Amino acid sequence: MHFDTSDSPALSRRRKAAMIVQMMISGGSNLSLSQLPESLQEVLTDELGAIKLVDRDTVAGVAAEFTAQLESIGLCAPGTRDGAIAALSDHLSPDLAARLRAQTAKVRNGDHWHVIADLPTARLVDIMTRESIEICAVALSKLQVGKAAEILTQTPGERARRITYAMALTSEISPDTVHRIGASLAKEYGQPAKIAFEKPPVQRLGAILNSTVTDTREDVLASLGEADPAFANDVRKAIFTFKDIAPRVKPTDIPNCIRAVDAEVLTRAIAAGLAGEQAMVDSAEFILGSLSQRMAGQLREDAEEMGTIKKSEAEAAMSAITTAIREMAESGVITLIDPDEEEEDKDE
């Protein structure tokens, strides 16, 4: 039988791989092809099925090329996340190894859509607002009906309408394209979101405004209230200033809170508070009322003798007290009263 390969096209890498597999099977090798993704197993099967007769020179050339590639390899790593986890299992912390295995278990036969389906609602809404309309349509189609409806409800109206319209155009998308979209989304959104700040914006801005002078703080809050009332309201709740002492601190916590404050600074703050607006007066009286009669009387007398306090000195003295209170609250020594809970109690 004569084989003429001079005019035949160059063999593809897939065809060469199929030939190597056939040679190894014929030689009695036991190959673990089941470890390959099913899509690759299917391609290999199709390629092997297309091979009939191959001349000796071609077989020898493919074998020589394969051998040369093997000999040129200097290092062989797992190549997959599962393999890497298995190789490092004895060197990783048990908790991390278990978490990585759990993440990997979500990807079955290369299908990453399980990872997407398990994402929290907020993360899925991120996908709907950040990705292209076509990608969103595919992603929404892969979710369970109930969850898809919930995500669509939380997606801005016009964008939601465009996504639902695009779903009508997904019928012709190939399975391979859907697979690649799932893999890409899982890689982008399947990992914990990387954040630049430990605390949310409300707490960060609240901490900054806590340390600013009253005029600046009120100007910022007024401007913020015009631009974003809800955010401004949350920031106000995160701020703790001298006038918040009366409504948010328990009387029994006051002695501990002012213990570390210098006596002259405390007196100056009380003097400024008693001479200020009603909320300031209330907090100053609240502090005095939470102390022993002797100590409160002495403080009131010393405060009256101070006379008028400069605005900058008053701000600094009040800030010293509120800082001491905030530090004790943050360390868990005391618990501030939540203004929302206080309003609910009054309503009841």
**Residue 163 and residue 140 in contact, taking contact as beta carbons nearer than 8 Å:** yes
Residue 227 lies in a domain: no
Give the model confidence (pLDDT) of 65-75 as tens digits: 888 888 888 88
Query: pTM of the prediction?
Result: 0.46
Give the model confidence (pLDDT) of 6-28 as tens digits: 344 578 888 988 898 888 888 88
- pLDDT at 107 (0 to 100): 55
Domain boundary among 189, 214, 232: 189
- pLDDT at 87 (0 to 100): 78
Between CA 285 and CA 274 the distance in angstroms is 7
Residue 84 lies in a domain: yes
Residue 305 lies in a domain: yes
Q: What is the CATH number of the domain that holds 291?
A: 1.10.220.30
Tell me, yes or no, whether 289 and 267 share the same domain.
yes
Tell me, yes or no, whether 143 and 163 share the same domain.
yes
For residue 223, which amino acid is it?
A: S
Residue 202 lies in a domain: no
Tell me, yes or no, whether 114 and 173 share the same domain.
yes
Tell me, yes or no, whether 90 and 123 share the same domain.
no
Q: Which domain holds residue 305?
A: 240-341
Residue 228 lies in a domain: no
- Tokens 């939470």 found at: 290
Tell me the CA end-to-end span of the chain in Å, nearest whole number.
Answer: 99
Between CA 241 and CA 276 the distance in angstroms is 13
Residue 229 lies in a domain: no
Domain boundary among 119, 154, 189: 189
Residue 172 lies in a domain: yes
Between CA 80 and CA 110 the distance in angstroms is 11
Give the model confidence (pLDDT) of 104-151 as tens digits: 665 555 678 888 888 899 999 999 999 999 999 999 999 998 899 999
Tell me, yes or no, whether 144 and 158 share the same domain.
yes
Tell me, yes or no, whether 120 and 167 share the same domain.
yes
Between CA 266 and CA 299 the distance in angstroms is 8
Q: How many domains does the chain have?
A: 4
Tell me, yes or no, whether 248 and 171 share the same domain.
no
Tell me, yes or no, whether 244 and 335 share the same domain.
yes
- Among 17-26, 54-63, 132-141, 203-212, the range with the most confident prediction by mean pLDDT is 132-141
How high does pLDDT run on average in the chain? 85
Residue 200 lies in a domain: no
